[in-house]
Every structure is written in C-alpha cells, then in structure tokens.
Structure 1
Amino acid sequence: MASADFRYEQNCSICLNTYTDPITLRCGHIFCRGCIDPELDTQQESGVYTCPECRKRFQQRPTLQRNINLCHTAECSSMFHEDHGALGIFCTYCINSIVPAVKSCLLCEASLCESHMKVHSKSSEHILSEPTTSFGKRKCSTHKKILEYYCSKDAVCICVSCIAFGEHKGHFVEPINVAFEKKKDTLIHFLERLTIKKKKTEKRVKTLQKQKTDVQEKAADVTKQVNVLFMDIREQLDLLEKKVLSEIYNWEEQVSHTVSNLIQQLEIKKDELSRKMFDIEELCHISDPVTVLQGRGSITDEFYDCQEGDEEDREREDKKVHEAGDLDEGLILAALHAGLADIMTGVKRGIYASESLDILLDLNTAGNYVAISGDLKTVSWTELNQCRPETPERFQYCQVLSTRRFASGRHYWEVETSESGDWMIGVCYPSIDRKGVQSYIGNNNKSWGLCKFNNEYSVIHSSDVSQISHYVSSQSFRIYLDYEAGQLSFYELQGSTRHLHTFSAIFTEPLHAVFYVWGDWVRIKS
C-alpha cells in the first residue's frame, strides 16, 4: 500500500501522469511545468492566480521553483522503467520502495521484480508473463484457471479443464503461445498485404489528384480559348454589321439625294404653275374683250408648251429614280451569308486547324471490291472486281486510306453513311497490315474505329470491342483528332452534336483516315 501511495504522489494532479520537470508553488503543491504554465496563463486575464490543488490565491504570478529531489526521483524512475520495460507496474512484494516489475505470475496474481522473480516458484503452474495488472483476463471465467490453450474451432482461449470437462472437449486446441505465434505471423502477413494495398491506394489517389489538376488546367485553358474565340467572333460580327448597315445607308443616301433634287425641281415647277394660274385667273375677271384677246396668245402658248413638256419631264424623273436603284435585298443577304461563312471558316480553322474538304481517298490503297468516286470523296462496295494492280500498299479487303496524313495538330472531318450496309470509319498508322483479318480497322493496335454491323454500333481497338450504349439514329458523323493530346473522338450529327466515344492513346506514327464498307457506301462531306 505504501508503494501505491508513493506512486500516486508522483503523479501530477492536472495531467494525472508521472511528473515531467516538477515545479513547486509557494503553497507546496507540485505540478508539471508544462501543465501549470498554461493554467497560470489562463488566469492572467482575471489578474488573480490560484493553486489548482488547494485554491490558494496569489496577488502576483507565483514564481515557479524546480523540485530538484522529485526531478531526480522521476528521472531515475523513468530510466529504470525504460531499462526494464515495466511501464509503471511495480513489484507487489517491495512494500518499502518502488521497484518496477519485470514479470507477473498469473497463478499468484502478483508482479515481481528481478530479486523476487529469482526466489519465485519455478513450477509449471506458476506461469510468468509480461508485467500486467489485468490478471482476471488471463484466467478462465468458468474454472478460474489460467488460460493456457487456444481452441481454433471456437476462436477462444481456454484452460486445461475446458479441454477435459468443458464444452471444448474434442476440439482442436494448441498451446496459447503456439497459437499466439501463428496469429502474429498471420497478422504480419495481413499487415504486409494491407501496407501494399495502402501504397497502391496512395498511388491511385496521387494519380487521380493529378488527373483532377490536369482536368482543371485543361478546362481553364479551353475556357480561355473559348472566351478569346467568342470575343473575336463578336468583333467580326460587329465589323460585318457595320459593313452591311453602311451599304444600306449609302443606298438610302443616294436615292434620297436623287429624289430630293427631283422634289426641289418640282417645287420650282409648281411655283411657276401657280404664277400662270394666277395670271389666267386675272384674265378671267377682266370684262374687256380686247384686253383678254390680246393677252390670250402668250398664255395659251405657254399652256400648250407646258402640257407637251409634262410627259417628257415625268419620263426624265422616273429615269433618274430608276437609275438610283431599289435596295437589292438579295445582295445584302448574299453579303451577310458570305461574311458569316468567312467567320465560321475562321472559327473552324482556329478550333480544328483543318477542314473536311482536305480529306481525299487514296486510290492506291483501295481494295479491289470497293469503287472510288471521281472526286475521291465516296467509297462504295461493289461485287465487281476492280482488277487493280497488286501492290504492298493495297488492302486485301474493302478498305481504303486517305491521301492526307496527320502527324501533329488538331483536325476534324465529317462523313455521311448509307442507311443500309455495314461500315467502319476511323484512323490508322501507315504501317497497318494490308492483308489478313488483322488488317481490318480495330483488329490490331495500329487502328481505331467506329463500326456499324447488323445495325449495332460499337468502337474497336486492339480487337477490344465496346458497344455504343445509346441509340444512334444519324447517318452523319464527325471524327475529331487531337494528335498531341492523344485523343480521337467520334460525334453523331443529328440536330445537335452528340458525343459517342473518345479514344486516348500516345500516337507514335502519322495517322491516316481509313474507311471500310460492305453492302453500300461512305462519303466524305465537303
């Protein structure tokens, strides 16, 4: 009991652990320096300091005095614990001093120091273990005997009586130390597997984090490009709008100027007619026949002359208005169409860096059961052997390459397919086999394709086929290639553009567009 009390006195009342750098207050109570300093810091705000143990008040922050004796005792005890691994468990029989235990006897339920272990019974029932205070856990709850065996069937530790008389009779049992070593080996093996799995998981997390960063960076880069693109489109649209509106305004100004001149001339003519009408009215009011008759000749002559010139004036005026011209809406629409077409051409070049009209079929690679149109845009299946000369470049089956190859940059082309028949479209390396089933698009690691067979759509590469999950209703498709990024994408063009599939690869050779047909045709759209 005395040793237990002494051990308690070695514990700090704040952290309840053995003192670390013990400090004594003026009231005599002892604390760890690391425990009392924060406590006094907290009390500093109120201006009143108290001992956490006895609540004695200090007007000023108490001076901390190191307890030399207790420090020495704690250091010695700590060193002794480290040397013997007792972890704070002390010898039961050393009642006048604190001596760490090195073993515990499960039968006696006592802990032993080096000296008492030497005189302790060596009989087999006195089982020694690492120092412990939990003796109850090491004994059978039914027979109160030491747990010496392990039942594999029920996965429990048992005593000798459990084997002979208990419910574990007839079960496979083994000494607890043997089972312990086996369990340790199993745990170590499992730990190794978990460690490997953890490393793989960490590697996967890093990969996904990099992928996330790459996606964010690419999204930011593409967003910037799109913003610049739309800014450029808006500028070009503004210029086109100003150009078309300027043409309309110029036409309006020209016609308005001509009509204004005619109006001005007619106003002058109108004034002259008003004057003549006034003169005639004056004559009509004169009663003297001589006066009226003598003035008749000049007035009537002017009237007849004016009447004869009216028709000529009207013809001249109509001719001037006609020459000014009507607004040619067709010309305006044509200007708008041409301007918008130029803008879209620039947009496509900026995005794809190539246009579909650049794609032509290479007759030198066409199989003998496909026909190639004169414009080198359409490949059709034919039952008639074309009897083309056999060359290393020519395909054995119904396939053909494009003349153009792509070794860098971003490109796209669009194709139109027949409703019936089977076909494949995609890209391949020029080193693709030209003979045998391995020469088909996707049946090798040198080609990538979108296929239609028996009205089912799929993508294929290295003979790995993946079905297109949703319904494909279009006969128009776009193939988009980003060589540096290693991406080949297929899109369905039906109303709005819909993505079908994207291949990711590291391209190691230039690429050609490649086409296969059976039963009908495929056309490159210009």
Structure 2
Amino acid sequence: MASEDLKEDQEVSFCLNLFTLRCGHSFCRVCINQVLNTKEGSGVYSCPECRAEFKEWPSLQRNVTLCNAMENFISNNPQQEEITGISCTYCVHSPIPAIISCLLCESSLHNNHLRVHSEEAKHVLTDPSSSIENRKCSIHKELLMYYCTEDAACLCMSCTLAEEHWGHQVEILDEAIERKKEKLSDVLRKLYMQRQKTEERVQRLEECRGRAHQKANREAERLNALFTDIRNQLDDLEKRMHCEISRQEEQESLSISDLIQKLELKKDELSRNIRSIEDLCNMPDPLTILQEPDMGDLCDPEEGEGEEVTGYVDDPEQEEADEDSKGDTGGDYGFQQILHTLSNIISDVNVVFYGQRPADILLDVNTAANNILISDDLKTATRTDKKQNRPETAESFQCFQVMSKERFTSGRHYWDVEIAESGICWVGVCYPSIDRRGWQSYIGSTNKSWSLFIGRGYRNQCSVSHNKSELMLPYQIFSAGVRIYVDYEAGQLSFYELCDPIRHLYTFTTTFTEPLHAAFCVWNKYVKV
C-alpha cells in the first residue's frame, strides 16, 4: 500500500536533489532557494510547508535517505506498460499493453498470449519494442546473436562465417550486453559519487553565500553606525560653535557698550568745556578773558586715545583688513578646531576599509629582544623573564621590543593588534634605521618612530609619542584590539580602537622618508597580530 501511495506521489514531475530544513520538511534545492529569495527583503525566512520562521538564511542539508529511496523505487518500478506505449499484437479488438516481444515472431505479447507462445530456444523474448527489425541482421535477416569485440558490431550466425570477421573474437550477444552493463554500472556508480560531491560542493557554496550575505549585513550595520556617529559629532560640533560665536558676540558687545558709555561721558565733558570756552570768548571785556585761568589742558591730545576693546578696532577699514586675515587663519570663532575635527571625521570614514584586506604581519625573530618570546607562527610576542638565548646582533633590540618582517614603502595598509587583558604595551611603526640600544631604541622616543601607548593594566589609559613628545589622549581603551592604518604617500599614521563602531584615537601627519616596519614594545603580558 505504501508503495502504491509512493507511486501515486511520483505521477508529478520531481527531482532527486532534495534538501531538508531544520523543521524537517524536504524540498527541491532550486525550488526552496527560489522561495527563500522572495523572503530576502523581509528579514525573516519561513518554511513554505509549516511556516516555521528563521531569522537567518536557513542551512540546507541533503536528505540522503529520501533521495536513495526514490532512486531505488524508480529503478525497481519502471512502469513499462505506461512508459513503452506498445500494445499486444494479437489483441486487435481492444489494445492491451504488451509485456514482452518475440524477436523471431516479430510480435509483442500480452500476458495471456505469452502463456500459449512457443518456448523453443529460437523464439527470443525481450522487453517490449516497436522496432523489432533492429534486432535482426540487415543483410541476412537473421537474429543478432553474437558481438564482435574488434569491430564493435552485432552479428548473426551468417555474419560470423563471413570473411570480414574471420579470426575476430566473438562473444554471445547476451554475455557482451551483461559485460557492457557491468562497465556502465561502474561508470554510473562513479557518476553518482561525482554528483554527490557536486551537490555537497553546491551546499558549501550556498553556505558561503549565506555567510557572505551576513557579512555584508554586518558591514552595512557598521557603516550605518559609523555615519550616525559622524552625524552626531557634526551636530554637536555645530552646536558648540554656535554657542562659542554667541558667547564671543556677547563678550564683544558688552566691551563695546562699556567703551561707548565711557565715550559718552567724555563727550558730555567735552561739550561742557566747549560751552565754557565759547562763553569766555564772547565776553565783552577783554581783561576778563586774561584773568581766567589757562584752559589748554582741557584738550590733552594723548588723553583717551588708544582705548579699544580686545578683538575690536575703532576703524572700519582696519577691522575689515583684520577680518580678511582671520579668514586665512581661522578667525576668533575656532575654525581651526573645526578643520581639525573634520579631518578626524574623514579619517574615521576611511578606516572602514570595506573590501581591503589586512596586511599579513609576521614578527622578525632576528630583531626580538632576548626577553621577548616569539610564537611559532610569528604572530604573538610575549614578555618573559626567561632569557631566550638568541644571539645578540646589530639587528636585535636590547629590551622588550620586536619589529615586523614586512616593510611598507608605498600604498595604504592596516593591521589589527590584540592586547592581553591587563597588558601594557606600545604599538606603532618605525624606520629600519632606528637604534637598537639605549633609550633612543624605544618606539616613540626619536624621530624615527611613532607609537601608541595602551595601558589596559594601568587605568586603561592611552597616549601617543613621537620624538620624545608624548600626548595623553582623552580616552580610555577597554577593547582588546586596536587598528593601525598607514597611508604612506599621504604621510598619515592613524590609530583606532576596535569597538562598535570603530573609534578614531589619533592621526600623525608627516612625510615618511624611509620604509616603515610595524613595531611592538611589550612591557608585560603579550600582543598578537
């Protein structure tokens, strides 16, 4: 009964490439991919049978048991009557599908006629065929009974006696067919294995495509978070600058008002003095004028001159000239700060590195100090109290440090560094000509190196150093990783904290004159690239 049900289920078209979802339902791989692709924009994938939902692209597993069962069923149930469409030769009133053909009689037989058919050996029975004449020799009109292996030709009895086949190896046709079937079975087995491997590879590629899709979504989310942060920074910067402009305007206005009040008082005093002198000059008695005290000190030319407000000049032309000069230098409203902040924001945008692969940094054992242990894969540098007994050469550092094998002379490059919890280290770049002995060998201590100090074991502080000049940064580093970015031609070295979103810490701007090596100073614990 189960076989009949399965047979009825296969009356429709299907493929044997069946895959199963986590909910247990199986589908054709092409069909289920088409269904899942339609759910791409919604963010939720569902089973078309039971509507079970999946937040991510569901992994597909090939249903090997079901596929094998279908293949066995089809091979054991050829449904010859329906497939061949050949009717019994002797059922003339109502056509009945034949189950066998007789090559000698050149007829096809139903089960009832087969019972009364001759069982002589010369009556060769075979599967139902509409081209029985193809089983007879076209020359002698005899049944094909033999097979010539040298000429790859089917022969009748008369053909085996013909001159063109003398001395050839001849086999009985049925035996040759069986041998050929064995070879074909071996080929079929190999093809099945190749198909299974291909299906497995397709499945792996589907999974890779799913992972690529998830990676793209993560990168898009990072990018959205980054630009959201940039917009917030710009908004905050705009508000701060507006407040600063208003503050300076109010300060200038108060200063100018105070000066105007003083000048108004002076103007009143001058008006009184003018009236007094005018009254004196208009007196009719000249002797009275001579008897009045000298008033020349009322108009002291030095008095009151030079008074001005800070940032304000009482001369429109001079003020306009000053404004032009401020336009070149940033003015009084902090435009230099704006340019610096925007530069940092642009650096934040560049650090997304979408589509760019990190540099493969390997540590150079020949440059490592004897208190630095280098891992076998040349990726981890660990501070150790056990001397490594490496020969001290001109290349090796005296203490705590190691350089990379790679050197950069052009282009843009970045690499990530993992810092141990509670670790203290300096990371950065240096020239190959850096000293390897004394204080001048530490990265950041000379003009041949640049460094970022990370104190995960020291209040999570961080600072940058170059040429003995250290700048404490207003950040604390809580993440385990930092990113170092070099743009050689632009002369930029940038440091970032690998948090979400990634955070810009500082950018050095200079002109690189030598190749650059990644450099590491490990005070305790380890660093890993």
- Report TM bin, short chain: 0.3 to 0.5
Instruction: Using structure 2 for the length normalisation, give the TM-score.
Output: 0.46
Instruction: Using structure 1 for the length normalisation, give the TM-score.
Output: 0.47
